[in-house]
């Protein structure tokens, strides 16, 4: 399997994708568009870059069309077992294929292409799935017949993205979503290419010159409005004006976490004990009551200076922790600050915990609706915190173990509730977007991020610049 640009590689390959749209299953986010006339039901292609989030063991729809009858539908989706599948008609009555491979990596951007070509004389080639430029081995429940013309895609029924008739909502991010009406792409190279210098890296390329067809569309998610027009989140930039209606999505759901610059999020796969609940593209975490192991992000850092901020939006008791961890979660009460290289700022006192819960005097207490900034300085091996933009402890940092000497060899952002009877909710901002409106808008010195407060501080008497944790910054500082 080729590497996925932005996750397994930090190579800057030239063509940049600016925006993605974040879908949240819990709030029923989706897009819909109803064609004014039928298109080509025999030959069409769907392409999009996708970063999955949470709820990985339930069915999640990418694109769906439905006329109200169980036997008249079509759906491209992630199956509950993690495979990618497409089916038309009722339960296998017309056509269904599924990938043999599963896709559960929440840190990765996947490029998914589905091709329908019922005019192809070879049955196994009439429905094809590509992931990261490679055609996937598929299991076939039923292959569509030659010249099949009764599918639901390209009919005048509503075409849905991120939902299937009010259910099966998608959790995660999409960018560069393309639909070609009347064109069955020969492979995935219309939308991406292998990098010439690093041939295992699959990267996106400019698709603006493709022939989209009557019902075709190109969704770049570069506008922020909520109307079904060229200024909306669902604006079609192909020139066909097939704009999508926005359902339960707002400008807050537009992000800069894309297939060419991948940002850190929290990681639901590193959820050893206590069942952290994740939503909003893994930027919102609810820490349960009872003992729990510290959750961590998707990207660890071993060099450079890194900034993130998180808003404590709910807590049942003033016993929450935020900070960094470089410990494996090996037991059910491995709280943030328990390990020798795990540091947690305690809400009730402003003290920090490290090395089996030893409290150290440091900063100030914090509570609901405070935004806590976390600054990891792996150049000087210091950790700083701020509360609503004010750096704690007069800018004197906490000395931390060098990343190379930690259990994992890298530090991860972390936050949790530390109480046996209540829960807490943290809403993170790693720079690509967050779940709440930003009133000021601060970037790092490379121009990345959209933070409430500046990533640059004076720490231990020196001006220090910190950066948003994304792959473009990692290429320079990581």
Query: Tokens at residue 15, please?
Result: 């063509």
| 3-state secondary structure string across 142-207 | ECCCCCCCCCCCCCCCCEEECCECCECCCCEEEEEEEEEECCCCCCCCCCEEECCCCCCEEEECCC
CATH code of residue 230: 2.60.120.200
- CA 320 – CA 329 distance, rounded (Å): 18
Q: Are residues 208 and 291 in the same domain?
A: no
**Residue at 269 is within a domain:** no
**Residue at 116 is within a domain:** yes
Query: Is 419's pLDDT higher than 80?
Result: no
Mean pLDDT of 132-136: 97
Q: Are residues 207 and 310 in the same domain?
A: no
pLDDT of res. 92: 47
Kind plus residue range of the DSSP H or E element containing 78: strand 73-78
pLDDT of res. 329: 72
Q: Are residues 236 and 292 in the same domain?
A: no
pLDDT-based confidence at residue 93 (cuts at 50, 70, 90): low
- b/e for 7-43, b at 16 or more Cβ within 10 A? bbbbbebeeebebbbbbbbebebbbbbebeeebbbbb
pLDDT of res. 2: 38
Q: Are residues 251 and 319 in the same domain?
A: no
Mean of pLDDT over the chain: 92
Q: In angstroms, what CA-CA distances link 138 with 59, 114, 135?
A: 18, 12, 9
CB contact at 8 A, 51 and 20: yes
Domain end call among 188, 222, 255: 255
Q: How does DSSP assign 9-63, residue by residue?
A: B----S-----EEEE-GGGT-EEEE--SS---SSEEEEEEEEEE-S-TTS-EEEE
The radius of gyration computed from the CA coordinates of the chain, to the nearest angstrom, equals 23
Query: Is 471's pLDDT higher than 70?
Result: yes
Beta strands in 89-153 (DSSP E): 95-99, 110-117, 127-131, 134-135, 138-142
pLDDT of res. 3: 38
Residue closest to 178 by CA, chosen among 115, 87, 251, 253: 115
pLDDT cut 70: percent of the chain above it: 94
CB contact at 8 A, 217 and 238: yes
**Residue at 24 is within a domain:** yes
- CA 389 – CA 372 distance, rounded (Å): 8
Query: Is 285's pLDDT higher than 70?
Result: yes
- CA 81 – CA 52 distance, rounded (Å): 14
Q: Are residues 293 and 431 in the same domain?
A: yes
Any idea which of 174-183, 222-231, 348-357 has the lowest mean pLDDT?
348-357
Q: Give the model confidence (pLDDT) of 244-263 as tens digits.
A: 999 999 999 999 999 999 99
Q: Give the model confidence (pLDDT) of 327-379 as tens digits.
A: 877 666 678 888 889 999 999 999 999 987 779 999 999 999 999 999 999 99
Report the alpha-carbon angle 301-53-334, nearest 5: 55
Q: Give the model confidence (pLDDT) of 149-168 as tens digits.
A: 888 999 999 999 999 988 99
pLDDT-based confidence at residue 146 (cuts at 50, 70, 90): confident
Strands 390-391 and 245-247: unpaired
pLDDT of res. 12: 55
- CA 333 – CA 288 distance, rounded (Å): 12
pLDDT of res. 94: 74
pLDDT-based confidence at residue 49 (cuts at 50, 70, 90): very high
Position of tokens 């004014």? 36
Q: Are residues 360 and 289 in the same domain?
A: yes
pLDDT of res. 274: 62
**Residue at 265 is within a domain:** no
Query: Is 89's pLDDT higher than 80?
Result: no
Q: Give the model confidence (pLDDT) of 405-417 as tens digits.
A: 998 999 999 998 8
| 3-state secondary structure string across 338-350 | CCCCEEEEECCCC
Q: Residue 306 sits in which domain range?
A: 277-477
Strands 424-429 and 254-255: unpaired
Query: Tokens at residue 404, please?
Result: 């190379």
CATH code of residue 376: 2.60.120.920
Q: Are residues 325 and 458 in the same domain?
A: yes
Q: Are residues 282 and 429 in the same domain?
A: yes
- CA 299 – CA 431 distance, rounded (Å): 14
Q: What total of structural domains would you count in the chain?
A: 2
Query: Tokens at residue 181, please?
Result: 């009406």
């Amino acid at each position: 399997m080729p590497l996925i640009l932005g996750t397994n590689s930090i190579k800057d390959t030239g063509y940049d994708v600016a925006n993605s749209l974040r879908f949240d299953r819990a709030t029923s986010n989706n897009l819909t568009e109803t064609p004014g006339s039928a298109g080509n039901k025999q030959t069409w292609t769907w392409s999009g870059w996708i970063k999955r989030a949470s709820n990985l063991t339930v069915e999640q729809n990418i694109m769906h069309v439905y006329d109200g009858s169980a036997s008249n539908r079509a759906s491209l989706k992630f199956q509950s077992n993690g495979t990618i599948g497409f089916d038309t008609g009722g339960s296998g009555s017309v056509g269904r294929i599924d990938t043999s491979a599963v896709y559960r990596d929440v840190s990765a951007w996947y490029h998914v292409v589905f091709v329908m070509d019922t005019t192809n004389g070879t049955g196994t080639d009439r429905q094809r799935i590509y992931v990261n430029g490679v055609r996937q081995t598929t299991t076939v429940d039923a292959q569509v017949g030659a010249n099949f013309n009764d599918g639901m895609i390209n009919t005048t029924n509503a075409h849905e993205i991120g939902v299937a008739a009010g259910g099966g909502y998608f959790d995660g991010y999409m960018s560069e979503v393309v639909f070609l009406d009347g064109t069955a792409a020969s492979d995935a190279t219309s939308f991406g290419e292998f990098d010439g210098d690093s041939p295992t890296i699959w990267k996106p390329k400019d698709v603006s010159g493709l022939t989209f067809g009557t019902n075709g569309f190109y969704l770049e998610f570069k506008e922020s409005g909520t109307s079904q027009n060229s200024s909306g989140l669902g604006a079609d930039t192909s020139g066909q004006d097939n704009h999508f209606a926005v359902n339960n999505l707002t400008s807050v759901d537009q992000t800069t976490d894309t297939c060419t610059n991948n940002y850190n999020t929290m990681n639901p796969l590193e959820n050893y004990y206590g069942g952290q609940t994740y939503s909003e593209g893994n930027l919102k975490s609810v820490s349960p009551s009872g003992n729990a192991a510290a959750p961590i992000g998707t990207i660890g850092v071993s060099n450079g200076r890194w900034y993130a901020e998180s808003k404590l939006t709910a807590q049942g008791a003033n016993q929450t922790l935020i900070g960094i961890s470089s410990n494996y979660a090996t037991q059910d009460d491995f709280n943030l600050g328990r390990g020798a290289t795990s540091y947690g700022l305690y809400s009730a006192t402003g003290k920090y915990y490290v090395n089996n819960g030893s409290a150290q005097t440091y900063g100030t207490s914090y509570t609901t609706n405070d935004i806590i900034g976390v600054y990891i300085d792996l150049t000087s091996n210091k950790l700083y915190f701020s509360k609503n933009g004010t750096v704690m402890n007069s800018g004197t940092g906490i000395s931390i173990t060098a990343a190379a000497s930690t259990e994992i060899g890298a530090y991860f952002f972390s936050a949790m509730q530390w109480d046996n009877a209540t829960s807490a909710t943290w809403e993170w901002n790693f720079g690509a977007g967050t779940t709440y409106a930003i009133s000021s808008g601060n970037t790092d010195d490379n121009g990345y991020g959209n933070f409430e407060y500046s990533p640059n501080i004076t720490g231990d008497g020196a001006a220090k610049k910190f950066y948003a944790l994304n792959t473009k910054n990692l290429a320079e500082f990581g």
